[in-house]
Amino acid sequence: MRYALPDARDWVRAELQGYLTVLYTPFREDLSLDEEGLRHNVRATLALPGVGGLSVHSLHQEFWTLTEEERRRVTELVLDEVAGRAPVVIGCSDPSAERVVRLAAHAAAAGADLVMVWPPYYGPRSAEGVRAFYEYVAPRIPIGMLAYSTTLSELGFHLAAPQLRALLHLPTLCGVQNTTLNIAQYDEMLEAVGAEIAVATSLEEYHLHGQLAFPERAPRFLIGASRPVFCQSAARPHCAHFLAALRAGEMGAAAGHARVIGGIAQQLQSRFFARGFHHVGLFKRLAGMMGMRTGPVRPGVAPPSAREVAECEAVLRDAGLLTG
């Protein structure tokens, strides 16, 4: 951790920038963890244009298929491979508040910079219950915490702006990933809490909007982003160009790069987000095409169909991202 806990909110705003990009968990054919493959993915992801850090144990990483011991092992391997070269956010989400506390304590001890804690993703949930969940977790963890606000049906609970505002008294809460896929809700979140904590998104079009509409509040980083993996290459670094245009204040150019990225993403991913879910099996296969180590998915995660893979491969080739 690179800050004193009372300074977590200031550190997030001052130090995080660029894409905090997702990882993929590679499995061997027997479904055991491919540890060297994971280390390769850390190196390959950090080398992607525009990437400024990592977001670990996201939906893309199949964390819910891992045992608690495996989640700890993945955390340790990632942080060991990063070796302090970039900020790392470790996802500690779980329906059990006590397990979240244990995972967050482990992440902090292993060298993480922040943890991500979703609302409980299973069981009967209410605004009052979710508030109690965060109020139990936050005082018991020794590290800054990000919350997660999404309208995707796979999580099944939308942490709305008024509910997050009611949690601002928790000093370890220093940001939120807003992936509501609704620009009005993104604006509402920035208006409600953006002066106190970082309201970050994973999507260029929302990030650009935030820079234009709330220049004093919108942070300089995107979190949970997978587009740097799929929507660019070293020869066509669309995501890096997007960030460079923003830094230069060239908003028209940034918008042009965002349109290119979004056009590719629409055909690969966004069509599934519009239906409320991440097609993790397909996204993992695409990551393999782009140079990541992947392997199979574990039971419970649907593998992609041959047609889906062929369609997406054609998109990548048409975009000039696959040349071999």
Residue 136, domain extent: 5-318
3-class DSSP assignment, residue 55: strand
**What average pLDDT score do residues 258-279 get?**
92
Average pLDDT, the chain: 96
**What average pLDDT score do residues 263-272 get?**
93
- Per the domain annotation, does 55 fall within a domain? yes
* pLDDT digit string, tens, across residues 73-111: 999 999 999 999 999 999 999 999 999 999 999 999 999
- Per the domain annotation, does 68 fall within a domain? yes
Question: What share of the chain in percent tops pLDDT 90?
Answer: 94
- Per the domain annotation, does 232 fall within a domain? yes
pLDDT at 181: 85
pLDDT at 290: 96
- Per the domain annotation, does 204 fall within a domain? yes
HSE-CB for 313 with a 13 A CA cutoff: 12
- Per the domain annotation, does 174 fall within a domain? yes
Q: Exposure pattern of 52-76 as b/e (b: 16+ CB <10 Å)?
A: bbbbbbbbbbbbebbeeeebbebbb
**CB neighbours (10 Å) of residue 200?**
25
- Per the domain annotation, does 323 fall within a domain? no
Number of domains in the chain: 1
* pLDDT digit string, tens, across residues 176-198: 999 988 999 999 999 999 999 99
The span from the CA of 199 to the CA of 189, in Å, is 7
* pLDDT digit string, tens, across residues 212-239: 999 999 999 999 999 999 999 999 999 9
- Per the domain annotation, does 127 fall within a domain? yes
Confidence of residue 256 (pLDDT cuts 50, 70, 90): very high
In the predicted structure, residue 152 carries a pLDDT above the cut 90: no
pLDDT at 274: 82
Phi-psi region of 97 (alpha: psi -120 to 50; beta: other; left: phi over 0): alpha
Confidence of residue 270 (pLDDT cuts 50, 70, 90): confident
Among the listed residues 188, 124, 257, 184, the one whose alpha carbon sits nearest the alpha carbon of residue 176: 188
312: domain CATH number?
Answer: 3.20.20.70
- Per the domain annotation, does 18 fall within a domain? yes
pLDDT at 277: 84
In the predicted structure, residue 323 carries a pLDDT above the cut 80: no
